[in-house]
Chain A
């Protein structure tokens, strides 16, 4: 799952190395709210289910760990 998420993030923001820099995406300006929308779409395509709209919050996309947590809790 982690590798797929890094692949998705890298496609959207190829200027960053998400293998190295894997936290504080929002505060560092690595992602913005419109990037999150693209990420949600890609995650839904890749993992085959819909992410709850109320969970589309910056803090749930601020790190690789947060995104994995979002997917795992969303899938429960």
Chain B
């Protein structure tokens, strides 16, 4: 699916990361592998440090903290917000929507639309799509897109495949109507036939959490996890990314009659160092144009990695320069999407600690 939008701009990005940092090197003893094996894999995958929330912190806490920071520092006018879109897969509650909870805590008007989206690694792109559609109603001039997850709570600490990769956090992206007359091209696909290749099997209505689903079981590789934990068919997901994303990129180049030199930055989701390196190799994109440092430094925070990528790798330069960027997200769903957009000068672009 190729979607086009016009006259929209991002005016600010704020990343909110928990202050608590854990290190792979300090958790090697949790895993059912020799230290040598884990160190070797860690170097290849980029296992480094991760930001992880404490047991009491939820998505709404991170988002409310970030929103209040913007209000308190006069970076965002509360009265100007028309809609609050939250993309998360670790909501505070089954119901109500966590965005409604956030709206209440930060005191938004009853005319502000709040809505949750259940998407993960392509959640920034899907969230932008929703923001564009809200802006196209003509009744809303500013959308706040919240991407937030605390999925570390759903990862077994004895799962070496997932635990060293996960990160928690939130990002706040402001999207507004503009008169810039620029077209945004979005390409998106979803493969529901492979939906369960990345899942948390228990805890929903299909298989409620129970004593049985909470039992840790050893998999064939030696990792321990329960049915309440996140599990991934690693080889299937890896191959999906390596085949589908380059195809979509080529389709974009052909459709828009541009080539890979068009973009200043490829700001992609960063599941792990190895996967993104392979993707860059496949598409022959220099590493300098496709930053690959988020998962090693902060962990894979699902839909936050792309906006966090903007803050980490463009940072204050985004306040005085504009860039041709390609956003890319891929993962749970399975969902994959790329967006061609000109990132104009931002009003703010920074990372704060929670």
Contact = CB atoms under 8 A, between A and B. Distances in A.
Interface stretch (B12-20, B36-44, B248-256): B36-44
A54 B221 CA distance: 23
Interface in A27-53: 29, 32-38, 41, 50, 52-53
A12 B37 contact: yes
B159 to A, nearest CB: 11
Nearest to B234: A33
Interface string B144-165: 0000000000000000110000
Interface in B38-58: 40-41, 44-45
B279 interface: yes
B243 interface: yes
Contacts of B221: 32, 34-35
A54 B243 contact: yes
B41 A37 contact: yes
Chain A interface mostly = helix
A57 B239 contact: yes
Contact of B242 (A12, A32, A36, A56): A56
B274 interface: yes
B238 interface: yes
A65 B40 CA distance: 25
Q: How large is the interface on B (under 10, 10 to 19, 20 to 34, 35 or more residues)?
A: 20 to 34
Contacts of A57: 235, 239
Contacts of A35: 221
A57 B44 CA distance: 17
Given A33-B238, A36-B235, A56 B278 contact: yes
Which interface residue of B45, B160, B238, B243 has the most chain A CB atoms within 10 A? B238
Nearest to A31: B221
A52 B45 contact: no
B239 A34 contact: no
Contacts of B246: 54
Contact of A50 (B41, B234, B281): B281
Given A35-B221, A37-B41, 8 more contacts: A12-B40, A32-B221, A38-B37, A38-B44, A41-B274, A53-B238, A57-B239, A58-B235
Interface of B: 37, 40-41, 44-45, 160-161, 220-221, 234-235, 238-239, 241-243, 246, 274-275, 278-279, 281-282
